[in-house]
Amino acid sequence: MIGEKGKLLYNVYRALTYGLSPFLYLHLRFRTLQGIEHPVRWPERLGRPSTPRPPGHLIWFHTASLGEGMAAIPVIKRCIEERPDCTILMTSTTASAFEIITNQLPTGVIYQFAPLDIPAAMDAFLGYWKPNAVMLMECELWPNLILGAARNGIALALLNARMSAKSFSRWSRPVLLPLISLMLSKFSLIVPLSTMQGIRFQLLQAPPYVINFSGDLKYTVEEFDISKRGVQSIEELKVQLAHRRVWMVSSIHRGEEEVMLGVHKVLMRMHPDMVTIIVPRYPQHGREIAIELQKEGLSVALRSRDEKLVSGTSIYVVDTLGELRHFYTLTPIAVIGGSFLPGLTGHNISEAAAAGCAVLTGHHVGHFSDMVLKMQRSNPLSVLQDGSWPKLSLNY
């Protein structure tokens, strides 16, 4: 009965996405004009390939954005070691992921932008690339993709599988449960990133025998390769910061900068020589922060302009991608954003911890709560959340 309801719901979804396709096309073109989509390769989002498909077996790895893409790379490398005869195709949805990931992928891996989950785009994509298996990362549960692959006899796996509490609540509703149950029934393998996530997938009627645990793949993310000039610039910053107190806030979202700049002003009264490094989630946000601070008369150094930390400069804004791990080596304290406002779901804290930083976050950490708890069990002071922060000393 649930299977029949699921098929009916999918037919409704497919009809709706078919009907909305012209509007989604216009939205895609608008995003391209805004600079959000790639200016040349945007047709790939409609399932139009930009490179030939090699003969033989092909495995498709699909990720949403940069974090998931980097977590997939160690798995891709392992696949190449085990099956060098297979071609690997990787897709993501964001231009920022494209800029970084394409330089990190092993030789021979094909990169394309992911097709929209509309019938024409997804059918064209699957028909052209004909993957033998699809590896979806984290929470990329798209009906036309999953059921289209299953209809073509393509094996499906969901790696580092997760589902936010909000998404779980939505999918659990009686009207949507048959659809998600149908989708999850098509997977041959689901690898949750935690026990709690595994329970959620079972409650959504994923077959228990396809659920296997291996841990969070984001612990395996490798260091980004950056240019020699980038390495040299980091070393220069170390020299400039050698005799100054410094703390860093990373991956902040809009609205969080107001909280962090308030903290900055308080700390400046205690430590006039202090430097705050701000690394927004999106580079454009960093440039906007710098402009606003300059209007207030503050001296700000902007990373993309290669500006130096001179006397009187107390804020350094990093509006570039792919350098976060290197910046963690410059500071003893890292505040991880995306966690201080309702509706946010946190970011990876393991990179800051691996660099030896004292890690602080807000309470809105979403699926990263499992990572926070594991680190706190190992050392209660390894990760502190707001409300439990002691007066951390900048005297080092």
How confident is the model over 174-203, as a mean pLDDT? Answer: 95
Q: Please tell me the predicted confidence (pLDDT) of residue 109.
A: 97
d(CA 318, CA 278): 6
CATH number at residue 205: 3.40.50.11720
| Segment 225-264, tens digit of pLDDT | 666 677 888 899 999 998 899 999 999 999 999 999 999 9
Number of domains the chain is built from:
2
* Residue after which a domain boundary falls, among 149, 184, 219: 219
Q: List the catalytic residue out of 44, 68, 257, 351.
A: 68
Does 68 qualify as catalytic in the annotation? yes
My answer on whether 246 and 368 are in the same domain is yes
Written as six digits, the tokens of 249 are 């806030």
pLDDT class of 28 with cuts at 50, 70, 90: very high
Closest CA to 50 of 143, 100, 125, 147: 125
* 344 in any annotated domain: yes
* Residue after which a domain boundary falls, among 184, 219, 254: 219
How confident is the model over 188-214, as a mean pLDDT? Answer: 94
Spatial strand order of the sheet with 189-192 comes to 110-113, 87-92, 58-62, 133-137, 155-161, 189-192
CATH number at residue 286: 3.40.50.2000
Q: Please tell me the predicted confidence (pLDDT) of residue 119.
A: 98
My answer on whether 272 and 330 are in the same domain is yes
pLDDT class of 389 with cuts at 50, 70, 90: low
Entry pTM: 0.82
* 380 in any annotated domain: yes
* Residue after which a domain boundary falls, among 219, 246, 280: 219
My answer on whether 197 and 245 are in the same domain is no
pLDDT class of 97 with cuts at 50, 70, 90: confident
* 394 in any annotated domain: no
My answer on whether 251 and 112 are in the same domain is no
343 φ/ψ sector (left φ>0, alpha ψ -120 to 50, else beta):
left
How confident is the model over 281-299, as a mean pLDDT? Answer: 91
How confident is the model over 353-378, as a mean pLDDT? Answer: 88
* 206 in any annotated domain: yes
How confident is the model over 131-157, as a mean pLDDT? Answer: 97
Given a cut of 60, whether residue 395 has pLDDT beyond it is no
Q: Please tell me the predicted confidence (pLDDT) of residue 396.
A: 45
Q: How many helices (H) and strands (E) does the chain have?
A: 14, 13
Q: Please tell me the predicted confidence (pLDDT) of residue 292.
A: 92
Question: Which positions ≥6 away from 141 have C-beta within 8 Å?
Answer: 158, 180, 183
* 15 in any annotated domain: yes
How confident is the model over 334-345, as a mean pLDDT? Answer: 92
Range from 178-187, 218-227, 387-396 carrying the lowest mean pLDDT: 387-396
Domain that holds residue 330: 228-385
Q: To the nearest whole number, what is the mean pLDDT of the chain? A: 91
How confident is the model over 96-100, as a mean pLDDT? Answer: 84
Helix (H, G, I), strand (E, B) or coil at 362: coil
My answer on whether 206 and 233 are in the same domain is no
DSSP state of 204: T
d(CA 146, CA 144): 6
Given a cut of 80, whether residue 214 has pLDDT beyond it is yes
My answer on whether 131 and 237 are in the same domain is no
CA angle 186, 346, 315 (to 5 degrees): 145
Closest CA to 348 of 338, 357, 356, 358: 338
pLDDT class of 271 with cuts at 50, 70, 90: very high
My answer on whether 194 and 254 are in the same domain is no
My answer on whether 237 and 363 are in the same domain is yes
Range from 46-50, 108-112, 230-234, 272-276 carrying the lowest mean pLDDT: 230-234
My answer on whether 293 and 369 are in the same domain is yes
Q: Please tell me the predicted confidence (pLDDT) of residue 394.
A: 52
Range from 83-87, 178-182, 221-225, 256-260 carrying the lowest mean pLDDT: 221-225
| Bridge partners, residue 137, by sequence | 159
> Which is it for the CA torsion 282, 167, 382, 257, positive or negative?
positive
> Which is it for the CA torsion 107, 113, 114, 115, positive or negative?
negative
* 124 in any annotated domain: yes
Place of tokens 């393509």: 154
Q: Please tell me the predicted confidence (pLDDT) of residue 387.
A: 54
| Segment 295-317, tens digit of pLDDT | 988 889 999 998 988 888 999 99
Cβ atoms 299, 307 nearer than 8 A = no
d(CA 364, CA 6): 33
Within a 10 A sphere around the Cβ of 9, how many other Cβ atoms?
19
E strand residue ranges, 144-210: 155-161, 189-192
* 391 in any annotated domain: no
My answer on whether 239 and 173 are in the same domain is no
Cβ atoms 109, 331 nearer than 8 A = no
My answer on whether 259 and 207 are in the same domain is no
| Bridge partners, residue 335, by sequence | 249, 360
* 390 in any annotated domain: no
pLDDT class of 224 with cuts at 50, 70, 90: low
Higher pLDDT, 258 or 380: 258
Cα→Cα distances 103→37, 43, 53, 258, 309, Å: 18, 21, 20, 34, 29
Higher pLDDT, 112 or 195: 112
My answer on whether 210 and 236 are in the same domain is no
Q: Please tell me the predicted confidence (pLDDT) of residue 381.
A: 80
